[in-house]
């Protein structure tokens, strides 16, 4: 269909990437009444299924991105792994990138991120950028065994991350091929009490709001459970985590949503990863906050005043639904709705593949144990791990 402009006065946000983050952003864009366009590779991509103003094209192709940007007042992203040549071409053409390339580099390259945060005095795990000719033993001595090995660029959801228990394992890992432009980052394997995520929204003109700090659980590198607020986290530590996230957003000039993944340790928090977009750790906010992360991402990149990140219940629990062996989920879906009328089910319009993120469920209320049990039961039933 031809491109249709929004009503008089409303801007168009273009999102590069057609995954579930763009799909859920569409729900927020509908309420805001703005124009919302997506650049997606395939017509049956999660977001392309629900956004009429989808342009089909390779999001890594500068020509496609340039053509896409012509209808848009602001360009944003549903993933960080945007090709540098796309960013350069858009910048050169004067497109309004939010977040901008200067911010985005710190989400794209973990070594640049570590350098920047360390220089700013933000607490991080011990780290080392591996250089040709270094000694594995000396690196291990500096950081301590076991240590974490990451590719500086291109990894996500547990890909591009290894654990090395000793020098010979490290040497072996370093024989893996690196993506163009990527290097090896070695990090301390942190002994953490919990993993946290502190999300903030920041607008182009610098207004910022902090969401409650959540506890995340990763299974095989994939986020599977989020509890808001993080159970047992002291008010003081929560404020510290929020302050760090606000500080990072300001120092890196992030526009839109920023998720700061952190380790909670006996000595405080250490920053693990950054994401400059809506993030899995904020899906709870669709049903559990006044303004969701998708709403505030759009407001931030449009430089609109931000919405309240306040939560709507004492506890909000989000559990991811991963694909199992059953391609047809509809019977299971009916079952989980019948069992729990308060369950909020979000499916992403994706075919089932084992281990693939295909949806999530959210419940909110006062009894955390009960909410956790209900959310996990629903997710496990949808995945096919349990059948009763």
Q: By CB under 8 A, name the binding residues for a second copy.
A: 1-2, 4, 6-11, 23-24, 26-27, 29-33, 43-44, 48-52, 54, 209, 286-287, 290-291, 299, 304-308, 310, 312-313, 327-331, 333-334, 337-338, 341-352, 359
Structure tokens at 366: 């006062």
Q: What are phi and psi of 21, to 5 degrees?
A: -70, -40
Q: What are phi and psi of 7, to 5 degrees?
A: -60, 160
Helix (H, G, I), strand (E, B) or coil at 95: coil
State which residue, 263 or 348, has the beta carbon closest to a second copy.
348
CB 366 to a second copy: min, Å: 13
CB 82 to a second copy: min, Å: 24
Burial annotation 95-104 (CB, 10 A radius, 16+ → b, else e): bbbbbbeebb
Helix (H, G, I), strand (E, B) or coil at 285: helix
State which residue, 36 or 106, has the beta carbon closest to a second copy.
36
CB 357 to a second copy: min, Å: 13
Tell me the Cα Rg of the chain: 21
CB 33 to a second copy: min, Å: 3
CB 295 to a second copy: min, Å: 9
Rounded CA gap, 153 and 155, in Å? 6
Q: What are phi and psi of 202, to 5 degrees?
A: -135, 135
State which residue, 85 or 334, has the beta carbon closest to a second copy.
334
State which residue, 206 or 221, has the beta carbon closest to a second copy.
206
State which residue, 260 or 352, has the beta carbon closest to a second copy.
352
Rounded CA gap, 196 and 230, in Å? 7
CB atoms within 10 A of CB 205: 10
State which residue, 142 or 207, has the beta carbon closest to a second copy.
207
CB 142 to a second copy: min, Å: 46
Dihedral over Cα of 105, 106, 110, 113: its sign:
positive
- Cβ pair 360, 283 in contact under 8 A: yes
State which residue, 51 or 322, has the beta carbon closest to a second copy.
51
CB 120 to a second copy: min, Å: 28
Structure tokens at 172: 């072996």
């Amino acid at each position: 269909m031809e491109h249709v402009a929004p009503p008089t006065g409303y801007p168009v946000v273009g999102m590069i990437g057609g995954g579930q983050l763009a799909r859920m952003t569409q729900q927020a864009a509908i309420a805001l009444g703005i124009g919302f366009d997506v650049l997606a590779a395939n017509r049956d991509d999660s977001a392309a299924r629900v956004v009429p103003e989808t342009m089909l094209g390779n999001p890594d192709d500068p020509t496609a991105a340039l053509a896409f940007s012509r209808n848009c007042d602001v360009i944003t992203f549903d993933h960080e792994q945007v090709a540098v040549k796309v960013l350069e071409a858009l910048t050169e053409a004067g497109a309004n990138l939010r977040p901008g390339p200067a911010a985005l580099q710190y989400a794209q390259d973990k070594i640049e991120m570590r350098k920047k945060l360390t220089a700013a005095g933000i607490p991080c795990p011990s780290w080392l950028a591996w250089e040709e000719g270094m000694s594995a033993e000396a690196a291990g001595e500096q950081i301590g065994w076991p240590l974490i090995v990451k590719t500086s660029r291109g990894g996500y959801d547990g890909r591009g991350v290894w654990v090395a228990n000793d020098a010979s394992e490290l040497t072996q890992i370093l024989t893996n091929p690196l993506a163009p432009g990527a290097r090896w980052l070695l990090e301390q394997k942190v002994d953490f009490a919990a993993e946290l995520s502190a999300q903030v929204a920041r607008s182009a003109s610098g207004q910022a709001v902090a969401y409650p700090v959540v506890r995340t659980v990763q299974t095989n590198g994939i986020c599977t459970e989020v509890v808001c607020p993080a159970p047992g986290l002291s008010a003081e530590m929560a404020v510290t985590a929020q302050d760090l996230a606000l500080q990072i957003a300001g120092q890196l000039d992030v526009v839109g949503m920023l998720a700061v993944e952190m380790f909670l340790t006996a000595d405080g928090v250490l920053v693990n990863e950054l994401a400059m977009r809506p993030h899995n750790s904020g899906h709870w906010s669709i049903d559990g906050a006044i303004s969701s992360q998708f709403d505030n991402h759009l407001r931030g990149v449009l430089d609109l005043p931000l919405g309240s990140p306040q939560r709507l219940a004492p506890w909000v629990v989000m559990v991811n639904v991963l694909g199992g062996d059953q391609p047809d989920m509809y019977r299971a879906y009916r079952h989980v709705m019948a069992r729990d009328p308060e369950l909020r089910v979000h499916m992403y319009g994706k075919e089932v593949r084992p281990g693939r993120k295909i949806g999530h469920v959210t419940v909110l209320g006062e009894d955390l144990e009960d909410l956790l049990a209900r959310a996990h039961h629903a997710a496990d039933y949808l995945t096919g791990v349990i059948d009763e």
